[in-house]
Amino acid sequence: MKKSLLNLVCKSFRCSFYFSIILSILISLRVFSQTDPIQTDVPSLKNVYAHDFYIGCLLSYAHVGFPTDPVVPGQSSVVDPNGGYLIKFHMNSMSPGNWMKSAYIVDIAGSASAYAAASTQAEKDSIDVHPIVKFNGNIVAQLNWAKRQGFTFRGHTLVWHNQTPGTAFFRSGYTTTGARLTKDKMKERLENYIEEVIRLLHEGWPGLLSAYDVVNEAIDDNTGAVRTTGNEWYTTFGDSTYIMDAFEFARKYTQLYGENQIRLYYNDYNTENPKKADGIVRLLTPIFQAGYLDGIGMQEHNNLSSPVSAQSFIDSYNKFFPICNEMAVTELDVATGISTPSNAVLANQANEYGMLFKCFVERSYKSGRGKIINVSKDGLNDAWTFQANQSSSLWDSKDQCKPAFYAVADVGIYYNYLDSLISYSDSLKENDYTSASWSNFSEALTSAKNAMSQNYSVSVSAADALGGAKDSLETAINSLVEVTSDVSSANLKGPQSFFLSQNFPNPFNPTTQIKYSVPNDGFVSLKVYNLLGQEVATLFEGNRHAGKYILIFDGSKLASGVYLYQLKSNDFLDTKKLVLLK
């Protein structure tokens, strides 16, 4: 008897997945103006990767939000009137870019004026180690916007390698002509600066930040050594102890102010460079061992030839793995080198993005496969981005999806889809099926596992390979023929009545198996409902041949709770409860 497991795991995965997408689109129709030109008929990236990592953006330019947002004094105008809608639809995380670095938040002029106006030496001494810290209008606007949208927020960055805001930060009175501070005084100034940043964040936006880049770009590309050129700390004191100090102070004050959810990061670019990766490991190992480092940020300003291969990213990831608890991909883009690329160049860009996201998803934190917890692209679209005139984004200057967007979405959908299929396939037993159908299935399963483990490139599409492997394995599963051990006439005729089993396991998270039997050829439907009677997933609806069937229901896109699943035909109806417990 042929076991026609139509769409099996894939069908349930797809239905529950697309239900989530449809729901998000319906919600978006209420939130977004009808005139917004962003595309809401595409998968939302934050939903595609909901069980892998946060999806975010780093905004290195003027404020992006909604035109109707409350205006913050000193903020720039919204640069793209639809940009906030694009971010809201696809993302759940953001970072302020360079606006939050010390050059913009330490008020050197104000600190110098306060020092000069102090009437006693005691006042001057106090001001000299307590710099004035202020957030400008763009930072405040972005923090407010992220809070209103329910986003998580990544701070970037407390300390650059050269300790910007420059020479005056190392001099008494906050002037370039003042005497250099002693090392003890400079450490005190650094500590008070970091405390003030954490205090301001805690008072204004408690619990909003999930991570903070404490130190940024401290390692030289060519040597892997800590940078000394242009480094005022090194020039003054002949060492780089400020790095450990900055992490120690950041840990101290995030704990003091109850902001324990803030993970402390080191962030750098060109991390695929082997010498640089080795230098990062040397720098961070003692900081991690001291309990101050949580994560490593990998800036991914890429192009069509960099990284040269997926393996170069993987090699650095593997080096960092033992010395952190999590990782983030920051400032991601893939520059094409031209502002108006051809279709062929756009296809190569899509492959490069696909290659990278395949690396990310198979090492994702939320899935338990790895340590990548956040993937943040640089900027908004091709117009508003760090890589100007490079057509580097997933969206063009009009916020429309490029081929690279579809590659990124497809990789996430197909990888997780195929992962569920393979997990189910591994539970099947060869003795239950005919040798011919098992042989075809086994070959498709091997090919699927190869597609999952293979690295891709700018010339080989990860999305196409994963999608093709998914289709082949789905077909092979549906074509499995069950071996019948009993040759009685009753068994030759198949099931004698309808039957709907209790799902197993129950409760479940996120998948469960449902078996059912159909005695006659005809129309049947198997659907899942919430307790309000609203349909949340269609597992099957159509004509079935008489036989026994199995479906795997994936509830990963649904909230925890009690649901009903119902088998229905023209003359049969049965309903049972299932419990999704996350």
* CATH number, position 533: 2.60.40.1930
Clarify whether residues 79 and 166 are in a common domain: yes
Q: Determine, yes or no, domain membership for 11.
A: no
Is 460 among the domain residues?
Answer: no
Residue 127, in any domain of the structure? yes
Into how many domains does the chain fold?
A: 2
Assess whether 386 and 299 both reside in one domain.
yes
190 and 326 share one domain: yes
Give, for 562, the enclosing helix (H) or strand (E).
Answer: strand 561-569
Q: Given its phi and psi angles, is residue 48 left (phi above 0), alpha (psi -120 to 50 degrees) or beta? A: alpha
Domain boundary among 411, 431, 449: 411
User: Which amino acid is it at 414?
Assistant: Y
Report residue 344 CA to chain centroid gap. 28
Query: Cis (ω within 30 of 0) for the bond into 510?
Result: yes
| Shared domain check, 501 and 406 | no
Same domain, 365 and 497: no
DSSP SS3 for 216: strand
Instruction: Assess if residue 459 is contained within a domain.
Output: no
Residues with Cβ < 8 Å from 339, sequence gap 6 or more?
Answer: 382, 389, 390, 391
| Angstrom distances, CA of residue 252 to CA of 203, 211, 264, 411 | 17, 15, 11, 40
Report the DSSP beta bridge partners of residue 302.
334
In this structure, the answer to whether residues 394 and 538 fall within a common structural domain is no
Phi, psi of 454 (to 5 degrees): -75, 145
The span from the CA of 412 to the CA of 470, in Å, is 13
Co-location of 218 and 331 in the same domain: yes
Question: Residue 106 and residue 118: Cα distance in Å, rounded?
Answer: 19
Last residue of one domain, picked from the residues 387, 411, 435: 411
pLDDT value, residue 20: 44
Are 496 and 383 contained in the same domain? no
Q: What's the per-residue H, E or C state across 28-41?
A: HHHHCCCCCCCCCC
In a domain, 420, yes or no: no
pLDDT at 421: 87
Angular region, 526: left φ>0, alpha ψ -120 to 50, beta rest: beta
Domain that holds residue 326: 45-411
Q: How many CB atoms lie within 10 A of CB 141?
A: 26
| 300 vs 302: CA distance, rounded Å | 6
- Tokens 């960092």, residue located: 320
Other beta carbons within 10 angstroms of residue 549's beta carbon come to 22
The distance of Cα 278 from the centroid of its chain, to the nearest Å, equals 25
Determine, yes or no, domain membership for 138.
yes
Do 77 and 186 sit in the same domain of this protein? yes
- 130 plus 267 within the same structural domain: yes
Model-level pTM greater than 0.95?
A: no
The answer for 350, left when phi > 0, alpha when psi is -120 to 50, beta otherwise, is: alpha
In a domain, 451, yes or no: no
The position carrying tokens 């239900």 is 19
Residue for token pair 């449902």: 514
3-class SS of residue 21: helix
CA 112 to chain centre: 42
Q: For the chain, list residues with pLDDT below 70.
A: 1-36, 60-61, 162-164, 484-494
- Tell whether 265 and 366 lie within a shared domain: yes
Q: Show which of 411, 427, 444 is a domain's final residue.
A: 411
- Residue 174 shares a structural domain with residue 277: yes
Q: What are phi and psi of 266, to 5 degrees?
A: -105, 140
Q: How many residues does the chain have?
A: 582
13 assigned to some structural domain = no
